[in-house]
Structure 1
Amino acid sequence: MEEQTIFDIIHSMDKVTNKLIIQWNKLFEEDLGVSHILILGHLKAKGRSRPSDIAKALGLTPPSLTHLSEKLVQRELIIRIIDESDRRIIYLDITDKGTEILKRADQEGQILRKNLFEKLTDEERLRLLEIYKKLSDL
């Protein structure tokens, strides 16, 4: 068996990721990307949060989070909340409309996951997830 180089591995991972993103964009017709959904998911799970904390948790730069959150605010999927004790501090929180979009995204994501990973056994999917988590913790 031919030895895989790091570049072969990265290329294969990129191909799968790009395929997922393309299929996601075709399936979910809300003009929202994966990063938008991740922000909504974070807010749903953690509650109102400071943008810097969200950026850190999701591995985004603060400017990227600002750009992404602006679209979510404009679409009324999240709101900005000013801290009453320190008006310099701003929090983001998910709205009911954002929760509904997140619910739909989860449903569509399940369809995408089924279509993409149906070639793998349950054990292979679990192992793949474990591998990605391990690599992301480096």
Structure 2
Amino acid sequence: MEEPTIFQIINNMDKVTNNLIVQWNKVFDEDLGVSHILVLGHLMVHGNSRPSDIAKELGLTPPTLTHLSEKLVQKKLALRIRDESDRRIVNLGITDEGIATVQRANQKGVELRKNLFEKLTEEEREQLLSIYEKLGRSV
């Protein structure tokens, strides 16, 4: 058997990831994309945050974050919070419904990955775990 190239590995990893995103978008029927959930997840973990900090952390452009946050605020999943010491500063915060939405989104993601990994044998799952642990230590 021919040794796989790095390109083949990356290509197949991308296919799996993209397929999971497509499947997630189908099962998470709440008119939100993965990027919206990433923003809400950031707020859930880090609390109220400046939009520029969120954009930087998630690798998004400020205009993209503005667009995402507008929808989140409109759907009452996030809210804009003015800084009391400097009213020009506006942070983004998460609402209780936003937290519940992240939890539902995460649950759908867990179900999809569980279904995916159940297609592997126990030995294959152990190998994959070992590979991911090794890769995780090297980054």
Q: Report the CA distance between 1:128 and its aligned residue.
A: 5.3
- Compared with structure 1, are the counterparts of its residues 114 and 77 closer, same or farther at alpha carbon in structure 2 (3 Å cutoff)? same
TM-score (normalizing by structure 1): 0.84
- Compared with structure 1, are the counterparts of its residues 82 and 68 closer, same or farther at alpha carbon in structure 2 (3 Å cutoff)? same
Alignment match, 1:30: 30
Counting aligned pairs with the same residue, the percent is 66
1:63 aligns with 2:58: no
User: Which structure: larger Rg?
Assistant: 2
5+ residue gaps, structure 1, are none
SS of equivalent to 1:85: coil
TM-score (normalizing by structure 2): 0.83
Q: Is 95-104 or 60-69 further displaced after alignment?
A: 60-69
SS of equivalent to 1:119: coil
One-letter identity of the residue aligned with 2:79: I
Alignment match, 1:73: 73
For 1:39-98, what per-residue CA distance to the aligned partner results, in whole angstroms no more than 9, with x for missing partners?
111111111011111122222222221221111111110001111212221110001111
Whether the 8 Å contact between 1:48 and 1:93 is mirrored in structure 2 is yes
CA RMSD of aligned residues (A): 2.2
Alignment match, 2:116: 116
5+ residue gaps, structure 2, are none
Q: Is 115-124 or 98-107 further displaced after alignment?
A: 115-124
1:93 aligns with 2:93: yes
One-letter identity of the residue aligned with 2:37: I
